[in-house]
Structures are given as C-alpha cells and as structure tokens.
Amino acid sequence: MFKSILYLVFFVLSMNVFSQVNVYSSDFKKSISLLDSASYNNDFSKAAKSFEKSALIDKKNWLCFYYAGICNTLVAFQKKGKEVDSFCDKAEKFANTADSLDSNNSEIYVLKSMIVAARINVNATQRGQKYGAISAKFNLKALELNPNNPRAHLQKARAILNTPIAFGGGPKKAKPIFEVALEKFKTFKPEGLYYPNWGKKETLIELKNIK
C-alpha cells in the first residue's frame, strides 16, 4: 500500500505544467490543472474524466490519452481485486490510442509498463511472474526508444525494488538504477509544453528510503 501511495503523491509533486499557450484547447489546459492539483484518489478520477472529455476535442493530441491513462493507472494502484483490472483496462485503451497517435514514444511505453505493474496487485503470488515479465518488456522498449528517458529508468528501478531478493530484486539491486535515473533527470528536458516531466522527486525519495 505504501508503494502505491508513492505513485500518487510524488507524481503530483513532480508535475511541472503551468505554462499556457494557445496550441492546446482550453479543456486540455483545465484537465492539466486538475491533474496538477490532484492529491487524492478521487482527484485522479476527476482528472481522468476531464482528460477523456478533452480527448473528444483534441482527438489528435496524444497527451490527452497519455494523461488519461496515467490518471486511471494511479487510481488502479489504490484499488483492490477486480477494480484494479477495471481501471487498468481503461488505462490500457488510452495508452493504445496514444500509441496510435504517436508511435514509438518512450513515455507511452513507460505508461504501458506501469499499467501492467498495477495489475500485479490483484494477486502478487499468482500474477507476479507473468505480469512482471510483460511490464519489464514494455519498459525495455521504453529504454530502447530513449535511453535518456529518466522515467524509464525509474520504472525499471521500481520493478527491481519490488522483486523479491531471492529472484534478484530488492533495495540493494534497485539503488544503482535509481541513481542512474537521477542522473538522467539532471539533464532531461521535455520535448514540448505539457510533455511528461515527472519523477525526479519520486526518485530522490526512493533513494532516501533505501538509505
């Protein structure tokens, strides 16, 4: 549960999306503002619905679908049982649409990796091996598409952190990967306005917890 809360709280802390230009619709900007101010489960649900509405207007804007997927994934990390899959199913549809609009995007593959990781929470014993492998595959693709994407390294580190020590995971194995992610954040610049720029504070806190 603590790790799930981290996904919610620190994602919000690391958003950087206040600049405004006329390239995006006012609805999309409102959705971004909702996400930026979100701090609780219901807030992310509201933001998800807002991005879904934005997508009806900005149908060619992959970011609408990306953020709708992110919001539903963050909600999924807070749910239990079948509800997890329900929100993951929604997130997956948005991720696939985003992928169709902007293929071979490292950020979208990080999202896909997160979605599958959330599904593990339904039953870690039964799903860990299968879904862990799928999540890792998506994340590997994210790294191949952009080796300098810090969120891809962050996602990899989290996967290792949550893998049992007996299977090659744990804090000691994850720490060097978190450190790589932190180095990538120091030089990372988003490709455009509203593009994903979250994760640095998450990385710092994960490293602090390990130490």
DSSP sequence for 129-198: HHHHHHHHHHHHHHHHH-TT-HHHHHHHHHHHHTS-GGGT-SHHHHHHHHHHHHHHHHH---SSTT----
Which pLDDT does position 18 carry in this prediction? 37
Condensed to tens digits (0 to 9), the pLDDT of residues 165-211 reads: 998 999 999 999 999 999 999 999 999 989 999 999 889 999 999 97
Which pLDDT does position 20 carry in this prediction? 35
Q: Rounded to an integer, what distance in angstroms lies between the CA atom of residue 38 and that of residue 33?
A: 9
- What predicted TM-score, i.e. pTM, was given to this entire model? 0.87
Q: Domain ranges in the chain?
A: 2-210
4 alpha-carbon distance from chain centroid: 12
Q: Which CATH architecture has domain 2-210?
A: Alpha Horseshoe (1.25)
Condensed to tens digits (0 to 9), the pLDDT of residues 13-57 reads: 455 443 333 468 888 888 888 888 887 767 888 999 999 898 888
